[in-house]
Amino acid sequence: MSYKVVIVGATGLVGATMLKVLQERKFPVEQLIPVASARSIGKYVEFNSEEVEIVTVKSALAMKPDIALFSAGASTAVEYAQQFAEAGCVVIDNSSAFRMDEDIKLIVPEINGDSLEKSDNIISNPNCSTIQLVMILAPLHAQYGIRRVVVSTYQSVSGTGAKAVLQLKYERHDLEAEMAYPHPIDKNCLPHCDDFTENGYTKEEIKLVNETRKILDDSNLRITATAVRVPVDSAHSESVNIEFSKPFELEEVRSILSGTDGIIVSDDVGANVYPMPLDAEGKDEVFVGRIRRDESNENSLNCWIVADNLRKGAATNAVQIAEKLVEKRLLG
């Protein structure tokens, strides 16, 4: 079977990546229906070597789509996702709108994709930083039981959007830029991803905590985060310290991670091999390296995780959810 697929936000960084991933993974698209803001209506996106006209949300609903991939922000999702769901379309939303809703599943297919059911007409895609983190945590949690996680992120500007990408590009060429951030990002690091909250943490840091607990189905997991924006175009990096309930051997940890779908262990420090954003950019896997024992704390491990935030951190994960729906025959 093939399916009518809507992309809401088709002209954004994530939406454009969704188009690319759908083509690369040969998802069975009968009809692509791109939706974007009013200024883009009547323009075209390219899909499978054809020009496809961008339409309004109302027009997309009238076409009776099977799947809608939302990448247009929380306010758009809140306004329109339920309308698509009520029309018999399964919504996979990349925003934060529904992630912590008790009735909506937060899915990373390799971890909890099998939990999807026919009744799931809105499915939430986790935050980009959360996805790459839980990909590593999940198999280790199953083996050793995680007690505590401390994560520091090094997040690329593409995670903020096109305006931030342009700010970095312009600043690198000593040009005046429209500011996506409150400070310059070139030659700088900003410990400021998303808005600050009353407790001094940013919303991004709180997302990492709450979403990780939900995906791993462990509300007691102790986790703390510091999220930092760095002058890198694409791919997020994370320094992670994990405390286990049980003893572990490093070679067993490497074996578990190497044997997990979607993970590539890149860890040979003698040959200067470790994950880097340049290596992860454009790829769908999560890369992990610098795997080593934390000698300051019993049963604790340090590692370094890198993934392309536009792909596995957003577009690819959403398409993989759609693939899981097809595999489980949950569409139509």
Residues carrying an active site annotation: 128, 236
Give the other-Cβ count within 10 Å of 207's Cβ: 23
CA–CA gap between residue 117 and residue 228 (Å, rounded): 36
Question: What are the helix (H) ranges across 87-127?
Answer: 109-112
Give the other-Cβ count within 10 Å of 183's Cβ: 10
Q: With the C-alpha atoms ordered 224, 78, 128, 122, is the resulting torsion angle positive or negative? A: positive
Reduced to 3 states (helix: H, G, I; strand: E, B; else coil), residue 248 is coil
How many residues in the chain? 332
What b/e readout covers 84-98, taking b as 16+ CB neighbours within 10 angstroms?
bbebebbbbbbbbbb
Q: Which of 38, 106, 112 is nearest to 72 (CA)?
A: 38
**φ and ψ at 210, to 5 degrees?**
-70, -40
Reduced to 3 states (helix: H, G, I; strand: E, B; else coil), residue 87 is coil
Q: Under a CB-based contact definition with an 8 Å cutoff, are residues 294 and 268 in contact?
A: no
> Which neighbouring-strand residues pair with 152?
226, 239
The CA-atom distances, in angstroms, between 273 and each of 83, 117, 233, 234 are 48, 41, 21, 19
Burial class (CB in 10 A: 0-12, 13-18, 19+), 268: exposed
